[in-house]
Amino acid sequence: MKFFIDTANLHHIQEAQHLGVLDGVTTNPSLMAKEGIKGHDAILNHYKAICNISTGDVSAEVLSTDYESMIQEGTELSKLHPRIVVKIPMIQDGIRAIRYFSERQIKTNCTLVFSSGQALLAAKAGATYVSPFVGRLDDVSTNGMDLIRDIRLIYNNFHFKTQILAASIRHPMHIIDCAKNGADVATCPLSAILALLNHPLTDKGLAQFIADAKKM
Ligand code: G3P
């Protein structure tokens, strides 16, 4: 399973990249706003800065919601760097835009996916990635991981190449469950990736080894 980091914070991207396990980056308008990125040029420059750190795909989301504007915006984003993936919302015009980009070999990530029907449509349109939001489903008392399992089954049935990019990942158990249920990618905050490192028996065992090493 690939690990993407879900942030627009350059320090977090750098830290995950240095760890040596990072396969890509996803952003969204909320994450960009959180970093104080404002205005057309600043947005484009920030995506370029992310591409200069990450060696994998970088999802950059369109801000418009009508077909023509999404095509214009996505085309501009895709020209920034060969590893830019145009992130497009799961709406009717969005599906048309995904088809447009897929016919031109421009990578897409269909975002805000909450049902297997939506994921089926995204795959039919030729999306490179589909982003089911696991945590937000959990927030409304619906098991987000069931959706990952359902999409995996549907994509396997018909050999769809669209990659399941599990999003809205909040904690390490989400990452482990994504791996068990066949997500191709989990996009996570840095905290969730680093939390995978922790186990009290590792800490205890290491402390013992360090103490015993002094006796050697
Ligand atoms: O990738 C989508 C993600 O950023 C949403 O996460 O925690 O706001 O539901 P969250």
Which amino acids bring their CB within 6 angstroms of ligand 1?
Answer: 6, 26, 28, 133, 135-136, 167-168, 170, 187
CATH number of the domain that residue 179 is part of: 3.20.20.70
Contact (CB, 8 A) for 4 and 25: yes
Per-residue pLDDT of 11-47, as tens digits, reads 999 999 999 999 999 999 999 999 999 999 999 999 9
Residue whose CA is closest, atom 1 of ligand 1? 167
Domain count, the chain: 1
Host domain of residue 43: 2-215
pLDDT at 170: 97
- 165 — pLDDT class (breaks 50, 70, 90): very high
CA distances from 155 to 121, 149, 159, 211 (A): 11, 10, 6, 52
| Global confidence as pTM | 0.97
- Helix 172-180 / helix 144-158 crossing angle, nearest 10 deg: 30
Look at the alpha carbons of 72, 77, 81, 84 in this order and tell me if their dihedral is positive or negative: negative
CA distance 75 to 174: 33
Backbone angles phi, psi at 126, to 5 degrees: 95, 25
Per-residue pLDDT of 47-100, as tens digits, reads 999 999 999 999 999 999 999 999 999 999 999 999 999 999 999 999 999 999
Active site residue: 2, 48, 79, 87, which one? 87
